[in-house]
Chains A and B, each alone.
Chain A
């Protein structure tokens, strides 16, 4: 790539950052046009990314990996950290995903947030997010990546609690922030271990010398990176924040908590691929975490009546697929990123559709009060329909090309692993079909569980299609949900595109024949969707959650994830701090206070001696003199 193109890389981060700074500094004066400045900054970033991408496509595959350093950031003896940007197919994939989907969501937000008097601040945070996310994916070392990692965490926190005048929203933001800190500690410890093992933090040195390092250390670093990824990507056991994060405005859920930020953990693991390959145990743990989260999210998604929380559970589950793929090694990396890209499109589209439904239904999120909306919200219905077919993995929609590849890859290997991981991925696809169809049918099909006049005890709603500023981004994302998978999968184009980063993977045959896997997957998908159709489209849906078996009741409260966290972490922590405070009061404070009190009492006792009679003072002085003389005499006689 040309040096001019390389020098553009810092502007990818700087442009949205300048946008955010301007929007925050300009204050209320910019309220009338600030949102368009935000859109402009995001669009400009997309154009810069496109220029770099076109330039990258023009050179041979071997020359597509390049770094561009702005200068030295930290120079501390043996540790030198550059302000360096890594341009390669992987980072450019993310740049295009973040800026393209991000710009669409910026446009959507102009209309969605039009009644909010803090819209300018909202766009400032969105721009800040884009800047931080691009820094995360463009950094050429772990420390700079960490800056972006914290930046997206900050933007996420600010946007989840954007409507913080309502207390639960602020609490949700705090929950996300705190749970992410746990993951961040993992990344910090991983960096410390890298520094101790490799003496550097840049990708080139760390990933290049991972083979030669001790396997135990590699495993430790890999597990710490996994902890970081679990925090950011809402994987077990740090998944509890994602559902509450839906308290933020819907465009935020679409951009940050579905399409981009939550996939940063997958990026981190795929980027650290060579290191993980030198630590097979860590890889296995990653695959297990992915498989468990895949099922966890899918089960929770089946019982949620809140449309956004059902989508959040689905996000968790789909990222579980990506983590599973990332844990499979080089064979899975490309498919993890492939699924990440298609998921970014169809899940963002689904979230924007959910936002459009809420827009028409007075911000109601309870699907039990939806129903029969397809006639009134035709654009939303069709765009969400495409997203629904995509996430189901129905050919030729985009999810089919990516998710099916992950299921196939999960079936590759020896021993018990392919059977366990493959089965989990397969069953997950069936459950996904059920809960996504449930969501889709509860919203758009079936009988109306609302009415225009509020008759028969139903809620009064006046659904209407959203304005063009909202529907156009939805249409574009729906087109992506339809065609992106097919375009990128053509001739394994996307896999070859990523090869300079992920390495070339040999195609091993799965333990089951590929047509059998595809057949089984599609059968399960059809069965899942049919079940949902029977249950939620043909039969009447109760407007309040009916009594249900234990598993459903547990899934309604996220399989008791908050209870588990409170019992295992929060309460012991509270008891620990309380006993520390108690020990501090009773032992440390009491000791010093007792000493001070003793000195005070001694003083009171001595004060009694002060009679005011000069002759008594003289007598005491004389007595003191006598004592001194006595002591000197004693010392002199014993020494002599």
Chain B
């Protein structure tokens, strides 16, 4: 099977994730979009590793998984805390970062 197809799949998944992040207001859904982008990147990394016959890409994918796991823990905790404080899960309600 042509390896390029995996890349196409990766691009599609990344685009879906990015669109989710940009268009949806619900924090949980935005979070899922980010996860989707991370996994799309992992797929691309593994594919490149296979293309070049080099394990570096696979090792990097493992790193991404570990970071993603940690990020899920911290990110969900933040989301829950914000929800408790503001009774809202909309990202647009959290705009205190502006100058």
**Which residues from chain A sit less than 8 Å from chain B, CB to CB?**
607, 610-615, 618-619, 622
Contact A615 B98 (CB under 8 A): no
Residues of A within 8 A of B94 (CB): 612, 614
Contact A610 B99 (CB under 8 A): yes
Contacting residues, chain A, for B99 (C-beta < 8 A): 607, 610
- Least CB separation from A606: chain B residue: B99
Q: Which of B22, B96, B97 is the one whose CB lies under 8 Å from A615?
A: B22
With the chains together, A612 CA to B30 CA distance in Å?
16
Out of A610, A618, A619, A622, which one reaches B98, CB within 8 Å?
A610
Residues of chain A within 8 A (CB-CB) of B21 are: 615, 618
Q: Select A610's contact among B18, B92, B97, beta carbons within 8 Å.
A: B97
Instruction: Report yes or no: B95 in contact with A615, Cβ–Cβ below 8 A.
Output: no
In Å, the complex CA distance between A510 and B95 comes to: 107
Give Cα distance in the complex from A44 to B17, angstroms. Answer: 103
- For B95, the chain A residues whose CB sits under 8 A away are 611-614
Interface centre among A611, A614, A622 (most CB of B within 10 A): A614
A-B contact count (CB 8 A): 32
CB-CB under 8 A from B30, the residues of chain A are: 614-615
> Do A611 and B98 touch across chains, with their CB atoms under 8 A apart?
yes
Q: A607-B99, A610-B99 are in contact. Are A615 and B18 (CB under 8 A)?
A: no
Assess whether A619 is in contact with B91, with CB atoms less than 8 Å apart. no
Inter-chain CA distance A615–B21, complex, in Å, is 7
| Identity of the chain B residue whose Cβ is nearest the Cβ of A625 in the assembled complex | B18
Q: Report B-chain residues with C-beta under 8 Å of the C-beta of A614.
A: 30, 91, 94-95, 97
Q: Shortest beta-carbon distance, B9 to chain A, in Å?
A: 18
Across-interface contacts of A615 in B (CB, < 8 A): 21-22, 25, 30, 91-92
As a 0/1 sequence over residues 65 to 99 of chain B, the CB contacts with chain A under 8 angstroms (1 = contact) are: 00000000000000000000000000110111111
- Would you give the shortest CB distance from B8 to chain A, in whole angstroms? 16
The 5 closest A-B pairs by CB, nearest first: A612-B98, A612-B95, A612-B97, A610-B99, A614-B91
29 contacts between A and B (CB under 8 A): A607-B99, A610-B97, A610-B98, A610-B99, A611-B95, A611-B98, A612-B94, A612-B95, A612-B96, A612-B97, A612-B98, A613-B91, A613-B92, A613-B95, A614-B30, A614-B95, A614-B97, A615-B21, A615-B22, A615-B25, A615-B30, A615-B91, A615-B92, A618-B18, A618-B21, A618-B22, A619-B22, A622-B18, A622-B22
Q: Which residue of B lies closest to A607 (CB)?
A: B99
Cα of A610 to Cα of B92 in the assembled complex, Å: 14
CB distance from A523 to the nearest CB of B (A): 98
Contacting residues, chain A, for B91 (C-beta < 8 A): 613-615
Distance in angstroms from A616 CB to nearest chain B CB is: 9
Known: A615-B21, A615-B92, A618-B21; 6 extra A-B contacts, CB below 8 A, are A612-B96, A612-B97, A613-B95, A613-B98, A614-B30, A619-B22
Nearest-Cβ distance from residue B41 to partner chain A, whole angstroms = 12
Residues of B within 8 A of A613 (CB): 91-92, 95, 98
- Enumerate chain B residues within 8 angstroms of A612, measured Cβ to Cβ: 94-98
The digit string for B38-65, where 1 denotes a CB below 8 A from any CB of A, is: 0000000000000000000000000000
Residue of B nearest to A613 (CB): B95
Nearest A residue to B96 via CB reads A612
Residue of B nearest to A619 (CB): B22
Residue of A nearest to B92 (CB): A613
Q: Which of A607, A610, A612 has the most CB of B within 10 A?
A: A612
Q: Measured between alpha carbons, how far is A425 from B92 in the docked complex, in Å?
A: 103
Chain A residues contacting B22 (CB-CB under 8 Å) are 615, 618-619, 622
Residue numbers in B under 8 Å from A619 (CB-CB): 22
User: Considering the chains assembled together, what is the distance between the CA atoms of A592 and B92 in angstroms?
Assistant: 42
**Minimum distance in angstroms from A247 CB to a CB of chain B:** 66
Which A residues lie within 8 Å of B98 (CB)?
610-613
In the bound complex, residues from chain A placing their C-beta under 8 Å from that of B25 are: 615
Q: Give the distance in Å from the alpha carbon of A612 to the alpha carbon of B92 in the complex.
A: 9
Per the 8 Å Cβ criterion, residues 20-38 of B in contact with A are: 21-22, 25, 30
With the chains together, A622 CA to B25 CA distance in Å?
Answer: 17
Instruction: For the complex formed, measure the closest distance between the CB of B63 and the CB atoms of chain A, giving whole angstroms.
Output: 20
Chain B residue nearest to A618 (CB atoms) is B21
Which B residues lie within 8 Å of A618 (CB)?
Answer: 18, 21-22
- Minimum CB distance partner of B25 in chain A: A615
What distance in Å separates the Cβ of B57 from its nearest Cβ neighbour in chain A? Answer: 19
Chain B neighbourhood of A611, CB < 8 A: 95, 98
Q: Please give, as numbers and ranges, the residues of chain B lying within 8 Å of A607 by CB-CB distance.
A: 99
Distance of A615 Cα from B30 Cα, bound (Å): 9
Taking the closest CB of chain B, its distance from the CB of A324, in whole angstroms, is: 82
Which residues of chain A have C-beta atoms less than 8 A from B96's C-beta? 612
Closest Cβ of chain B to A199, distance in Å, is 70
Name the CB-closest residue of A to B94.
A614
How far does the Cβ of B64 sit from chain A's closest Cβ, in whole Å? 17
**Nearest chain A CB to B20's CB is how many angstroms away?**
10
B88 to chain A: closest CB distance in Å? 14
CB distance from A574 to the nearest CB of B (A): 50
A614 to B89, CA, bound (A): 13
B97 CB contacts on chain A under 8 angstroms: 610, 612, 614
Instruction: Looking at the assembled complex, report how far the CB atom of A622 sits from the nearest CB atom of chain B, in whole angstroms.
Output: 6
Chain A residue nearest to B27 (CB atoms) is: A614
C-alpha gap A607/B99 in the complex (Å): 7
**A614→B21 CA distance, assembly (Å):** 9
Alpha-carbon separation in the docked complex, A612 to B25 (Å): 14
| B22 CB, nearest partner CB in chain A, Å | 6
Give bound CA distance, A614 to B91, whole Å.
7
CB distance from B47 to the nearest CB of A (A): 18
Q: How far is the CA of A615 from the CA of B26 in the complex (A)?
A: 11
Q: Once bound together, how far apart are the Cα atoms of A612 and B94, in whole Å?
A: 8
Q: How far is the CA of A618 from the CA of B22 in the complex (A)?
A: 7
**B13 → chain A closest CB, angstroms:** 15
Closest A residue to B19 by CB, please name it: A622
Chain A nearest CB: distance from B1 CB in Å?
26
Query: In whole Å, how far is B3's beta carbon from the nearest beta carbon of chain A?
Result: 20
Q: Max chain B CB contacts within 10 Å: which of A607, A618, A619, A622?
A: A618
Complex Cα distance, B98 from A610, in Å, reads 5
Residue in A closest to B33 when the chains form the complex, CB atoms: A618
Q: Return the chain B residue nearest A608 by Cβ.
A: B99
CA distance A613 to B21 in the complex (A): 12
Task: Tell me the smallest distance from the CB of B23 to a CB of chain A, in Å.
Answer: 8
> A614 to B99, alpha carbons, bound, how many Å?
13
Give the chain B neighbours of A622 by CB distance below 8 A.
Answer: 18, 22
* Shortest Cβ distance from A614 into B: residue: B91
Task: Determine the distance from Cα of A622 to Cα of B96 in the docked complex, in whole angstroms.
Answer: 22
